[in-house]
Every structure is written in structure tokens, then in C-alpha cells.
């Protein structure tokens, strides 16, 4: 690895992986699902590790998709760092946050779990995105966006080509892949997205939305 840092935090009742990625020109919180106090503490620790007088790189919240277990800590994080963070999501998943977020999440949770009471307990409003991503977008100088629909229309991965690391969200896991029985999910799209990942360099390290890290070649069926 170079001077870039990657920190894994497992948060919330669904054991979502929140990744903190820090490079010279970009610090990103990828998929801040729940437990904002844990995420904020890790980010503050990273900040103090910078030498005196060195400017902290711009902070982004980067979402691989819009499902509640990947976004739940956003309001608290934004409150802790007012004016310092930009939220980025693919345009096709933008309705999961912002003013349309509550109703969109409610429909999704009804199908996923048969109950939406959980949403009412934790929902605190959700800011609208600052950046709408698409295939080929780049965050900082290193994180390239790959559009991988299937689990949701706007599911994406963030790929650092130099480091050989890919943050796959809920598309590809160690020994599994994302479900497609949710509203707006699509099995055909998922299979195409997986084929696209399987065609990439097998040595790429995959940092998924849940579970342990893996590599592309370990997951090729």
C-alpha cells in the first residue's frame, strides 16, 4: 500500500461495512450505515493523525447505493462536521435520500422485512445529495465509479486502480452476491454486473458492503 489508508468499521444491526478511505486529495466515508459515534470517532482519530499545519483532504460521503443500512448515520455525521462534507450517490438511487428518502425507504423495507416500524424509530431526515455520480465519474484523483445495477438501479463500485482495491457495496461479497428480490432490483442486470466484475483483474481486492474482504478471482464462479 502507499500512504493511503483504508479503515473497515462494521456498523448497525445488519453488520454493514463502513469504509474510511483516505488519500492525499480525498478522504471518503463509504456507506455510513449506522453507529455514527463509531464512524465519527474513527474520522476524528484520522484527522489528528495528520501533522500540525497539514490540511485535511476534502471529505466525502460516498454511497454504493441508497438502502437504509448504508446511509443511516449520514444526518449525525453531517451535524458533527457542518459544512465540511459532500454526499455523492448515483443519480438512479438519489430518491433514497433527500426529501423523497422516507417514502422510498419505506417501500423497500416493507418488501425486505415485512415491517417498516424500524424506519420510524431511526429516521431523522436525510440531506439531499450534493453530487450525482455516473459511470466514469472520479472522486479525487483515484476513485473511479463503475455502474453495477442489479441490487438497485444506481448501485456502483468505487475502484482505486493504483491500489487495486474495489469497494463493491452489495453487488459482490465473499462467497455470495447481492439480493435482487427488492423493489427496483433486477436479476438480469445483476448477472451482467457480476460478469463485468469477473472480467476485471483477478487480484483486485474487493471490500464489500457486508462480510469479509475477498478478491475477484476468489469469487469467479
132-161: pLDDT as tens digits: 999 999 999 999 999 999 999 999 999 999
- pLDDT for res 14: 93
Percent of the chain's residues with pLDDT above 90:
80
Tell me the CA distances in angstroms from 188 to 9, 43, 138, 150, 210, one per residue in order.
31, 38, 26, 7, 22
State the pTM of this model. 0.95
- pLDDT for res 117: 84
Confidence of residue 1 (pLDDT cuts 50, 70, 90): very low
Is the pLDDT at 54 greater than 70? The verdict is no
Q: Please provide the average confidence, as pLDDT, over all residues in the chain.
A: 93
Amino acid at each position: 500500500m502507499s500512504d493511503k489508508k483504508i479503515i473497515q468499521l462494521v456498523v448497525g444491526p445488519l453488520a454493514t461495512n463502513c469504509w474510511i478511505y483516505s488519500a492525499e486529495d480525498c478522504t471518503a466515508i463509504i456507506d455510513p450505515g449506522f453507529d455514527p459515534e463509531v464512524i465519527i470517532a474513527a474520522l476524528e482519530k484520522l484527522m489528528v493523525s495528520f501533522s500540525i499545519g497539514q490540511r485535511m483532504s476534502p471529505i466525502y460521503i460516498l454511497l454504493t447505493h441508497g438502502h437504509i443500512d448504508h446511509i443511516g448515520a449520514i444526518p449525525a455525521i453531517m451535524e458533527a462536521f457542518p459544512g465540511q462534507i459532500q454526499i455523492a450517490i448515483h443519480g438512479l438511487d438519489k430518491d433514497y435520500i433527500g426529501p423523497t428518502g422516507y417514502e422510498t425507504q419505506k417501500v423497500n423495507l416493507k418488501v425486505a422485512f415485512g415491517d417498516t416500524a424500524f424506519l420510524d424509530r431511526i429516521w431523522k431526515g436525510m440531506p439531499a445529495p450534493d453530487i450525482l455520480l455516473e459511470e466514469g465519474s472520479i472522486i479525487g484523483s483515484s476513485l473511479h465509479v463503475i455502474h453495477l445495477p442489479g441490487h438497485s438501479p444506481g448501485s456502483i463500485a468505487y475502484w482505486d486502480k493504483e491500489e487495486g482495491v474495489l469497494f463493491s457495496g452489495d453487488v459482490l461479497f465473499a462467497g455470495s452476491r447481492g439480493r435482487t428480490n427488492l423493489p427496483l432490483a433486477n436479476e438480469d442486470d445483476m448477472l451482467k454486473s457480476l460478469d463485468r466484475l469477473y472480467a476485471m483483474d483477478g487480484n483486485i481486492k474487493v471490500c464489500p458492503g457486508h462480510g469479509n474482504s475477498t478478491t475477484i478471482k476468489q469469487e469467479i464462479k
